[in-house]
Amino acid sequence: AGMNGSAIENFSCVIYNIFLMNCTWQAGRDAPADTQYFLYWQKSIEDNQMECELYIKDENRRNVGCIFQNVSIGHEKAYFLVNGSSKDSLIQFYDEYIDLYKI
């Protein structure tokens, strides 16, 4: 569901100093101007889903990234979900499974 072209694009994560992870993305090319994005991740199937605690914002105060601290790298795929909200329309979500040890 959601308006085509409203989901984030170019999602990527980088791990620094073993325990810091920085994930970034770009707003969907057709997303309304008031769209705000929210990142959730789950380290493994057994863990609870957690929302980003420290967002990186662009010049329009839109969330375009997240900094995670105290990341532990396991051998299971981590699940990332970025959803969005807007007053104008429904926003498509983006999700991906990533092997943290491959980052």
Domain 9-99 classification at class level: mainly beta
Complete DSSP assignment for the chain = --BTT-S-EEEEEEEETTTEEEEEEE--TT--TT-EEEEEEESSTTSPPEE-SSEEE-TTS-EEEEEE-S----SSEEEEEEEEE-SSS-B--EEEEEEGGG-
Quote the pTM value. 0.88
- Residues with Cβ within 8 Å of 102's Cβ and at least 6 positions away in sequence, in order, are none
Residue 85 near residue 48 (C-beta atoms within 8 A) = no
Band of residue 97 on the pLDDT scale cut at 50, 70, 90: very high
pLDDT digit string, tens, across residues 40-65? 998 877 778 889 999 999 998 999 99
Predicted confidence band of residue 19 (pLDDT cuts 50, 70, 90): confident
